[in-house]
Structures are given as structure tokens and as C-alpha cells.
Structure 1
Amino acid sequence: MASNLDIETYPGNIIKNEFVPTPTTRHSYNPATGKALYEVPVARKEDLDVAVSCARRAFETWSHTTFEERSSRLLAYADAMEENRLELETLQIMEQGKSLALTRTEITMALQWLRAFATMELKEEVLEDNATRTICQTRTPLGTCATIIPWNWPTLLGVGKVGPALMTGNVVVMKPSPHAPYCSLKLGELGMRIFPPGVFQVLSGGDDLGLWMTEHPGIDMVSFTGSIPTGKRVAASCAKTLKRYVLGLGGNDAAIVCEDVDISKCLPKLTTLAFLSSGQVCMLPKRIYIHEKIYEEWKDAMVEFSKENIRTGGGFEDGITVGPVQNKMQFEFVKDMYSQIKTASWKTALDGRVRDDSEGYFIEPAIIDNPPEDSRIVIEEPFGPIVPLLRWSSDEDVIQRANALRAGLGASVWSRDLDRAERMARQLDAGNVWVNSHFDVAPHVPFGGHKESGIGMEWGIEGLKHYTNVRILWKCKMY
């Protein structure tokens, strides 16, 4: 059975609520061991054509279902996920590498998000109503939506797209990352007994599948989460058929720590977030600006906290904060970033180490001590467990430095003076800004980036709107 974790080959892609095998299969690797996981399908263009055709037929009915029916099915789907959460957690640790505790958090969040989406309804708005006419604003589903899922948070980011798409009357074809296909296929399998055929389908494949999706004339909308360079290619590809798209792209978040903070209270959270999931979250603090009056004290305390509390290891081990880097390509990129410590003469507060003696992709955390502002570690998102500390002295200067990059996903300000912190926060050019926190998210709160960190929003009522067209209905009364 597909639910057996000991299988050698997954039965097939999920098309029209059936397993559809492919002539070619591939596998990903357990990043903690370097060992191959089981075989999964490699979708061909003709498989995509069939899935899209099925989706378009299903849309004719699904788009006319009531809010109550969609909500009921989405809640039933969340229940099915919860019944199978142990298997989902095991799969995710095997394919993604994050710790058991963080994996449980992700699955719990995914369930919360689905159940919240099931309560969200886009209602008709009356823009004008008088003796001569009534003007209504309605929203209609776009049609067949392609959702392209990244490898770092595949379950939460997967249902974070599927839920809003289905609740607004669309149908979905999901493509998981080639580096992490297993949870997404399982999500599709669970949906087979909940949704009508063609409403939710999953195709596993290579990078070429993503290109076919973005160019396919039968796909009406693409929701993509991934890197900035790939997002630009997605946008260019979607432009060929003028299909709608939402892009959730990379970040390089600045965290600004003022001189009046209580270090003992805010440092544990900020340090843990910097290294959470090996730094493989787009919205973690990746540039930490510390006021010069407390810089040395903060640096020493952060190093000490990291040595005592930030442990590197496999996801099934206890007390892990830093798991393996998820795949070999990213491992080599982070290794190259670490090599800059010597070649660029960066000063380290905490020496990181690449575990080349391990079969897994393990890299221990590093803290870079006040590197130049034009260093790679400052201007590039490492997506690994390495973070720079940077000195600052004036509010105006640090805001300018925080806003200097083309990325604008998240940012934070930490201070006891809430008026000052809010004043600074309102000047930060990012889609998500926190005061005395970072990386807080909620299903009812929209999420998206500024500048090159994305286009459009996800989650919340605003996120649901991106899966719809606006239709204005004029009802003029007879004279």
C-alpha cells in the first residue's frame, strides 16, 4: 500500500483520484544519512496534459459548489491529515531533515491553517444601491491553479496554497520539489477520498515539469514559493499566456536590536530563530544589527547561548535545533559561503564547521563578527546556519542599511521603547514587520514580500482574493 513507509516505489502520481504510474522514476535522499529514499514518479508532459484536462472538467462542477460544501470537505481533509500525522511527520523528517519537534509544529500549523481557511468566505459587496441601479462586486474563481511547493516547509506551504484555492472554487494541480516529493504525494493520496476526481491532483517530476506548468495554456494561475531567480523565470513564463501568479520568494531579513533591550529576554528567541531549521526558512533573521553600546555584550551572550543550546544532528535525535542542510546543491552553496570565512578574512565570533566526515549534509552554526556591509554574508541569503552580527549607532543609518537590499520579505525591531520601535518599523521596506518578535505568522494574516521578495499575498482574506477575478455586476432598473 502507498501508506507503507517500507515500500520501494510509490504507486504513481495522483490524477483523477487514481494512482498513475510513469515509465521513469527517481528518488530523493535522506539529508541526515545521504541514503536514497523510495522511488517516485517522474511526470511527462502528457501526464500534465491529462491532469489539466481532468482538472478543467472538475472545475465546471466544483466552481458551483457552495461555501458550506467546500468548507465541509476541507475540514474532512484536515481530519484525514490529523489521522495520518505520524506518517506525515516521519516522511517529512526523512525527506526534509528538520527536527521532530519542528516537524510536529509544522504539521500542527498545517492543520490550523486548513481549519481556518475553511471559515473564510469572500462575500459579495454592494458598491452602490439607489433608486436607479445596484452595483455589486463579486469574485469568481480563476480555474485550474498550479501550486509549486518548495522543499523547506512542504506541508505547511503546500496546504497554505491548496486550502485557499479550493475554498474559492478553484481546482489544483500540485507540483512538489524534486528534493522533497514524499509528503506532497501523501497529501494528494489523502485527498483522493475527500475531494471529487480532478479537484486536487499531485504530479511529481523534475524542474521541467514546473516550466510545462507555467506555460500550459490550460492552467489559469500559478502559486509559486521558491528562490528569487526561479521566481523571475516563473513570472516570465506565465507572461506568455497572461496567466495570474502569486510569487513567494526569498528574503534576507534584517533584525535591528536597540541599546535598551533586555538581552536575557530577547536574545534566546532571536538566536534560536537565526538557526532554526538550519536557517532554511525564507523569513528568519539573517542580518542582525546590534547597537554599538551593547554589541560586545550581545555577541558574547549569543555565542554562549549557541554553544549551550543550539545542537546539530539528525531530525530523529532529541534536542535538535540545527538539522542537516536539505539537499546536496544547497549543501555545496552553504559550504562555499563558509569558505569565505578564510578567503574574505571574515572574523568569527562562533566558528562553524562543515561535517565533511558525515554521510549527511551537516553544517554547524557560525556567527560572523561585524563583516563589511558589502560582504556576501550580508548581501546574499545563505539559507544555512550562518549569520552576521553588524554594529550600528544611529536609527537613520541602520534603517537605510536594512532597506538597502532588493529583498524585502521580513524585518524586525527590538526595543523597550515601543514608540521608537514602531516609528522605525514603519520605515522598513518589507512585507512583514515585527516589533520585539520575528517570524510570527497566522492563517488569517496575509503574508507576502516587497521588492524582489514576491508578488501578491498568501493567507487571510487578502490571500484568498488572489485566487479570484473581480466581476462587477450592474443592475439598472427599468425606466
Structure 2
Amino acid sequence: MAPQVDITVFPGNIVNNEFAATTTTRHAINPSTGEALPEVPVSTKDDVDVAVAHARTAFKTWSKVPFAERARLLLAFANAIEENREQLERLLVLEQGKPLGLAKMEFDMGIQWLRTFATMEVKDEVLDDNEDRIITQTFPPLGVCCGIVPWNWPVLLGLGKIGPALITGNTIIIKPSPFTPYCDLKLGEIGMKIFPEGVLQVLSGGDDLGPMLTEHPGIDKISFTGSSDTGKLVMQSCSKTLKRVTLELGGNDPAIICEDADFSVTVPKVATMAFLNSGQICMLVKRVYVHESIYDKFRDAIVEFTKTVVKTGDGFEDGVLVGPLQNSMQYEKVKDMYADIKHQGYKMALEGHAMTNSKGFFITPSIIDNPPEDSRIVVEEPFGPVIPLLKWSDEDDVIERANSLKMGLGASVWSKDLDRADRMARELSAGSVWINSHFDVAPNVPFGGHKWSGIGSEWGMTGLKGYCNSRSIWKWKKVM
């Protein structure tokens, strides 16, 4: 029976399998109500130093633990999370704002990810073997890793860093977002009953905690998920100690709708993949390029679907797809984007608005009708429930437009002609490209971005090797 966690109390950071109280605490806000959530720790540099020292000590033994034992503990961790998931899902709704159904999906995925990582062993690779020598590439763990987790998917992206780091023999310190520290602290609390001391630690804090970790000489790798602007600062900070770094950054994903697309599939899927989690996912549809011959019909269909099916409200209400924006900062950014759309006089196929009768950060979906290609709503990632529809007629032109921005995280092509769609997909500059779908992810499939959408990959064997060094061993069979 797994230890049960109390989601109302947060005694401290998770350091060396103990609660470590801090001299200062803070609280986050429930984005649906504006009400304060429980107090959580605020870490100092001394707290970081202590955690890093424990992680370095733990690495000496954890790195030598056989793969089978690391996998067993990772599975035990997944099982313990599953036994606590019902109350953790409610906690996720309270801190992040997403609908309960999406919170359940996030835990489904996070648990599945851990169980899959437990099967993924990074093995030695023989590069050359002849009568004189054998050359083997090995993949030793890096050391102490740090995962900096964003506020939009704190559970999946937290576990998506913990699993690869631990299964490859590293120790890890997780830094949750100040906006969503609660579930990650509870995951650490569950983990301290399973893993050896110092293997998995969680430090909560304010905006100053990130630089303390990225600059720390005792940390060997940073895995960061967040905005491109912050990612540049992380990379700059990591360069001071030549840390390894994986950056999964912002996106502005295009979806190209061809003239033969199946509306019964395309319309609900594109709308859902635009407004899921209130548009606060980097790999959602952000720009919709619709062939001019079906543009009006598609526009009317997606507006009707959004008006009748896409419900905005509190995460605990039945049938809600669009919850609140997660925090006041993002809420104001999206309101500013809506204000710019109105100021520029762009045509709205569906006009969204801030729900001023609520204390939460609610904004209803908006669909913009063929704005200019250089408009803010096209060029900038709004990270909110708003999408532009744009016309296209020439295949080469729409691919050039889709590739024109500095972002290159995901993209999709929608067509019944799979050969044509495959040809177009191979021309798109993005780390993940889907045909007749969008935002499919799996733990055994790497994902990352081109251009300003990131460096390196998460997940898959490619992502796991990002937590390892490469070492080539030349073994001569005869003494020279």
C-alpha cells in the first residue's frame, strides 16, 4: 500500500528524503477563484547548496544501481502515484485551473510515461568489431540534473524529466513553477518513500530560484521547459559552467487544411487542439491555414462547433474544455492580444471576451477571420484561447508561410491524399509533424523544436541519451 499524501499541508521542500522547512513561505492562487492556496517553501541559495550536496553524494551509488533495480523503483513510484491520483487530480485542478477530465488525462499520461521509461535501457553500442579490436560506445550518466517545470503541465512535464534522469542513473532536483508548486511537491513526497536518499528532490521558490540552479557549479544538466525568451537566459546562465542543457521552448504551430480534408474529423479535432487547456500548451494549433476553396465552409463549421461544444468554466464543472488562464500575468497578456485585434479592426468570426463577472482568469474562445500575415495574432504565440484562420491557394506558398516564423515546434497537414500530405509534412520545419492529427505525444517518441523552439529532445531514446555522456571504448584484442 502506497503512502497517502495530504494535499492540504506542505511542510517543506523534499530534500534527502525529508521535509526541509524554509524560513520564508509563499502561496499561489487558484486561477478559477482568485483565492489563496496553501503556503509552500521559498528556497534560498543555502537550501540549493544542501540539496545539490545530497544529490552529488547520492549519485555515487545510484549511478551504479543496476538498470533492473532502477526500473523496479520507477514502477513502484508510478504505482504509488496511481494510488494517490484521485486527490492529486483535484489538487491539479485547484492550482492549474484545467478541467478535471484533462487533469485525469495528465495523470494517465504521466503514469504511462514512467512505466514506459522503466522499459527503456540505454545500452552500449558496438561500433566496430574485427580481429584486432572492438570499439564500443557507452552512455554513462551525467551526474546531478535539474528539471525546471512550467505551469501548464506540471505533472506530465515533471515526471517527463524525473523518469529519464533516474532510469539513466542520474539524480535530479525538480523546480516547479511558482504558479504551480503543489503537485510537484507531492510527487516528491511520494518519491521520498521509494527512492534512496538524495535521488529525487524538489525545491519550491520564487523567480530567483531558477538562476540559483542554472548557475550552480554542482549541477551537471538543466532540462528546461518554458518560453523562448526565458530559454535564452537559461542557456546563457548554463554557459558559465558549461552545463548540458535541453530546452523545450515556445511554439506557434501551423495546421494546413487541404481542400479535400474530411470536415467530420478536421473541424472538431482542430478546434479541440486549439482551445485545450485554454490554449496554454506550446504544441497546440496556433495558426490555421485553410485552402481558399473550402475556407468559408470551414470557418462557419469551426465557429459553430466552438459555440456549441467548447464550454468555458471552472475545472470542476461538467463538460468544460476551456478553464481559466493559469495566472494574472498570462490573463493580462491574452487580454492585450484581444485588445490589439479589436484596435486593428480585424474581422472576428467568433468574438471572445474576458468574463468580468468572475474572480477567476476566464476568457472565452475567439476565432479571427483571415488577418494579415504580419499581424500579432499570427506572428506571436498568444498562449490563450484564440486562433487565426488564414487562406491559402498555392502549396509552395503555404509551406513557406508556415515555415516563416522563428518557431518550429509542431505542425500538421490535413488531407485525404496521404502521399501529398506526407510530401508536405517533410517540407515543414518543426520537431513534430502530424498528418490528420495534432499534438500526439508518446514517451518512446522524441520531441523537441527547430529554430527558437528549443535545443535537444525530450523523451524517446534520443531524449534519454541527453541525460548521458558519450564514451567510446577502444579495446585492442592483441597486446601491441
TM-score (normalizing by structure 2): 0.98
Amino acid at match of 2:228: I
**Which residue in 2 is equivalent to 1:357?**
357
**Which residue in 2 is equivalent to 1:63?**
63
SS where residue 353 of structure 1 aligns?
coil
2: CA distance between counterparts of 1:171 and 1:232?
25
Unpaired segments ≥5 residues, structure 2: none
Amino acid at match of 1:478: V
Unpaired segments ≥5 residues, structure 1: none
* Deviation, structure 1 residue 261: 1.2
1: CA distance between counterparts of 2:384 and 2:127?
49
**Which residue in 1 is equivalent to 2:6?**
4
* Deviation, structure 1 residue 266: 1.4
* Deviation, structure 1 residue 291: 0.4
Q: What is the aligned-residue identity percentage? A: 64
2: CA distance between counterparts of 1:315 and 1:222?
32
Question: Over residues 212-231 of structure 1, what are the superposed CA-to-partner deviations in whole Å (9 max), with x where a residue is unaligned?
Answer: 10000000000000000000
**Which residue in 2 is equivalent to 1:168?**
168
Question: Over residues 159-202 of structure 1, what are the superposed CA-to-partner deviations in whole Å (9 max), with x where a residue is unaligned?
Answer: 00100000000000100000000000001000011000000000
**Which residue in 1 is equivalent to 2:314?**
314
Figure out how many residues of one structure are paired with residues of the other and give that number.
477
2: CA distance between counterparts of 1:5 and 1:442?
29
* Deviation, structure 1 residue 2: 9.1
2: CA distance between counterparts of 1:423 and 1:471?
38
2: CA distance between counterparts of 1:264 and 1:171?
47
SS where residue 140 of structure 1 aligns?
coil
Aligned structure 1 segments of 4 or more residues deviating by more than 4 angstroms: none
SS where residue 361 of structure 1 aligns?
coil
1: CA distance between counterparts of 2:45 and 2:4?
24
2: CA distance between counterparts of 1:37 and 1:69?
37
**Which residue in 2 is equivalent to 1:81?**
81
SS where residue 157 of structure 1 aligns?
helix
1: CA distance between counterparts of 2:7 and 2:49?
30
Task: Tell me whether 1:183 sits opposite 2:168 in the alignment.
Answer: no
Question: Over residues 398-435 of structure 1, what are the superposed CA-to-partner deviations in whole Å (9 max), with x where a residue is unaligned?
Answer: 00000000000000000011111111110000000011
Q: Does the 8 A contact of 2:255 with 2:287 survive in 1?
A: yes
Question: Over residues 14-38 of structure 1, what are the superposed CA-to-partner deviations in whole Å (9 max), with x where a residue is unaligned?
Answer: 0000000001000000000010000
**Which residue in 1 is equivalent to 2:253?**
253
* Deviation, structure 1 residue 207: 1.5
1: CA distance between counterparts of 2:365 and 2:51?
43
SS where residue 245 of structure 2 aligns?
strand
Q: Does the 8 A contact of 1:146 with 1:174 survive in 2?
A: yes
* Deviation, structure 1 residue 3: 2.9
Give runs of aligned pairs for residues 2-81 of structure 1, distance below 5 A: 3-7=5-9, 10-81=10-81
**Which residue in 2 is equivalent to 1:382?**
382
Question: Over residues 378-408 of structure 1, what are the superposed CA-to-partner deviations in whole Å (9 max), with x where a residue is unaligned?
Answer: 0000000000000001001100000000000
2: CA distance between counterparts of 1:69 and 1:460?
20
Question: Over residues 61-99 of structure 1, what are the superposed CA-to-partner deviations in whole Å (9 max), with x where a residue is unaligned?
Answer: 000000000000000000000000012101100000111
**Which residue in 1 is equivalent to 2:104?**
104
Q: Does the 8 A contact of 1:135 with 1:475 survive in 2?
A: yes
Q: Does the 8 A contact of 2:142 with 2:221 survive in 1?
A: yes
2: CA distance between counterparts of 1:423 and 1:159?
35
2: CA distance between counterparts of 1:265 and 1:468?
41
1: CA distance between counterparts of 2:440 and 2:351?
29
**Which residue in 1 is equivalent to 2:229?**
229
Question: Over residues 89-122 of structure 1, what are the superposed CA-to-partner deviations in whole Å (9 max), with x where a residue is unaligned?
Answer: 0110000011111110010000100000000001
Q: Does the 8 A contact of 2:246 with 2:457 survive in 1?
A: yes
**Which residue in 2 is equivalent to 1:238?**
238
**Which residue in 2 is equivalent to 1:293?**
293
Q: Does the 8 A contact of 2:148 with 2:224 survive in 1?
A: yes
Q: Does the 8 A contact of 1:2 with 1:11 survive in 2?
A: no
**Which residue in 2 is equivalent to 1:411?**
411
Give runs of aligned pairs for residues 121-270 of structure 1, distance below 5 A: 121-270=121-270
Question: Over residues 340-379 of structure 1, what are the superposed CA-to-partner deviations in whole Å (9 max), with x where a residue is unaligned?
Answer: 1221111100010111221000000000000000000000
Q: Does the 8 A contact of 2:7 with 2:88 survive in 1?
A: no
SS where residue 390 of structure 1 aligns?
strand
1: CA distance between counterparts of 2:448 and 2:39?
34
Alignment root-mean-square deviation, CA: 1.0
* Deviation, structure 1 residue 134: 1.3
* Deviation, structure 1 residue 45: 0.3
Question: Over residues 318-346 of structure 1, what are the superposed CA-to-partner deviations in whole Å (9 max), with x where a residue is unaligned?
Answer: 00010000000000000100111221111
Amino acid at match of 1:119: T
